[in-house]
Amino acid sequence: MVAMNAIISASELASELTGEKPPVLLDVRWQLTLAKAAGEPPFDGRTAYEAGHIPGAVYIDLDRELAGAPGARGRHPLPDLAEFGAAMRRAGVSSAAPVVVYDGGQGWGAARAWWLLRWTGHPDVRVLDGGLPAWEGPLETSVPTPAEGDFEPAPGATGQLDAEGAAALARSGVLLDARAGERYRGEVEPIDPVGGHIPGALSAPTNENVGPDGRFLPAEELGARFKALGASEGTEVGVYCGSGVSAAHEVLALAVAGIPAALYVGSWSEWSSDPSRPVAVGPDPQ
């Protein structure tokens, strides 16, 4: 099931926040941690949130609340569902109330929250297109204390792949690799044990789904891009990346285009941790 209204514009959000049924707002500011210059502090999403957020938004920590501990299942494996549900309820998430998620503009963190909530059964979750930079309204620094929500995760509402499923889909359907092209080709690998891609997967960097302002391309353009890769409505499609975060953003782009897709959560960080799994390098899928 694809949420055809998977994204929301800043103007639409401003209008809904003053309406009869305002959405629950989740702030998921997060950045991929790579090697940093000496003395450069790591990005701190909570600090950024406390410096200013959309009024009423609750901060969600991707590493602690939207993922389990890193290990053999990858850098951002599925979280413990009881803990995830408790975190969502603390943030005020209820099954009958709409949810809007945003981040600092890249869209990856927000998409991870969107995918998890959709996968665990929430029927109405959208991502703020363009993230916080698109918001033209006021910001606040006070931290809200929302009423406890009632959301109970029920996994399986949307597609999810494990390593074996991803390998099979690369042969029987369309498996998209959302990482940068140089990582897909195995030319560089800044994080994981080995570079390259799952044999049969197609390179489809998720940053090509957005324009210079970070907002998604029109649905027609996204649909044409994915169709050229063999992914269209009626085709079985899966997506992976480094650790199941940027791939969620590509699943979101596919949803905007009206194409259901499954997420391989463990992604390359899980795949490459097992030396017995095959690795392809170069520009060709095989």
Question: Pick the catalytic residue: 241, 247, 259, 263?
Answer: 241
E strands along 98-211, which residues?
Answer: 99-102, 125-128, 160-161, 174-177, 202-203
Catalytic status, residue 204: no
Please name every residue paired with 210 in a beta bridge, in sequence order, or none if there are none.
216
Long-range contacts of 3-7 (CB under 8 A, 24+ apart): 3/118, 3/124, 3/125, 3/126, 3/255, 4/255, 4/258, 5/126, 6/114, 6/125, 6/126, 6/127, 6/252, 6/255, 6/256, 7/126, 7/127, 7/128, 7/129, 7/216, 7/252, 7/256
On the CB side of 185, how many CA atoms lie within 13 Å of its CA?
8
Residue for token digits 């406890």?
148
CA nearest to 22, candidates 169, 112, 137, 115: 137
The first and second tokens of residue 38, run together, are: 């000496």
Rg for the chain (alpha carbons), in Å?
18
Residue for token digits 């501990």?
69
Q: State which H helix or E strand residue 8 sits in.
A: strand 7-8
77 touches 266 (CB < 8 A): yes
Question: Distance (Å, rounded) from C-alpha 4 to C-alpha 218?
Answer: 13
CA nearest to 222, candidates 247, 259, 169: 259
Return the active site residues. Answer: 241
